[in-house]
Amino acid sequence: MSTIIPSDIGTLSAYAQDLLDVCADALADTTAGTPADVFLDVDAPAFDCCPALVVVVPNLAEGITSPLAPSEETALRSTFGRINLVTYTVWTLRCAAPMQKNGNPPTAADKQAVAVTVQEDMWAVWNGVNHAVQNGLIFDTCTGVHFDGIRPIRAQGNCVGSLATFRAMIPGIPNDGT
């Protein structure tokens, strides 16, 4: 795990990898365990390879610096300071309940078993990231981390799972004046 101060060209990816590692460790304690495929991806993963654990950086934006800030505040950030707010998404994919051999839809028991697995994953990721942030194991310990929520993903391509979203403030690459 890393706490990178000051930031450099690898900070964004290093934090994404740290988040991936924390989530993989958290999922190891679930009934289904850590998925075999654990990786960083450029965008939302295809729902054709489950089980999988994927971390994506879908957005890099500016954070609000003051509740009373004028609407043009972002235009002056190079003068007064910028908050870099990075969104990280954690996709935990599991196999959906299978069709019955006779072609009928999955049984209620099969659906419930998958639901329990997804709920364990959600709770493990949520608590694993929370503990890692509290213990200074991920992200910059001097900045904030927003827990934007975690929600189930409906069945797609024989996969189900959950999507967790976190936003972390990270320092920018220092300006050397050139």
CATH of the domain at 126: 3.30.70
> Does residue 1 lie within any of the structural domains?
no
Has residue 83 been placed in a domain? Answer: yes
Q: Which residue, among 9, 41, 1, 49, has the nearest Cα to 170 in the 3D structure? A: 9
> Is residue 67 situated within a structural domain?
yes
pLDDT per residue as tens digits for the range 42-82: 999 888 878 999 999 999 887 766 555 555 555 555 555 67
Q: How far apart are CA 161 and CA 24, in angstroms?
A: 14
106 is written with which tokens? 């999955």
Hey, what's the torsion of the CAs at 174, 136, 126, 167, to 10 degrees?
A: -20
CA-based end-to-end distance of the chain: 32
Kindly state whether residue 62 falls inside one of the protein's structural domains.
Answer: yes
Residue 6: inside a domain, yes or no? no
Average pLDDT, stretch 158-167? 95
Domain-embedded: residue 5: no
Contact by Cβ (8 Å): 105, 78: no
Distance CA 14, CA 84 (A): 15
* Residue span of the structural domain in which 21 resides: 11-170
Please state which of the ranges 13-27, 66-80, 110-124, 125-139 shows the lowest mean pLDDT.
66-80
State the pTM of this model. Answer: 0.86
Q: What is the pLDDT of residues 12-43, one digit of tens each?
A: 999 999 999 999 999 999 999 999 999 999 99
Q: Mean of the pLDDT values across residues 97-116?
A: 91
The candidate with the shortest Cα–Cα distance to 55, out of 114, 139, 157, 120, is: 139
Domain count, the chain: 1
* CA within 13 Å, CB half, 37: 17
Count of helix runs (H) and strand runs (E) in the chain: 3, 5
Q: What is the pLDDT of residue 4?
A: 46
Please name the residue ranges forming H helices in 40-173.
77-80, 108-134
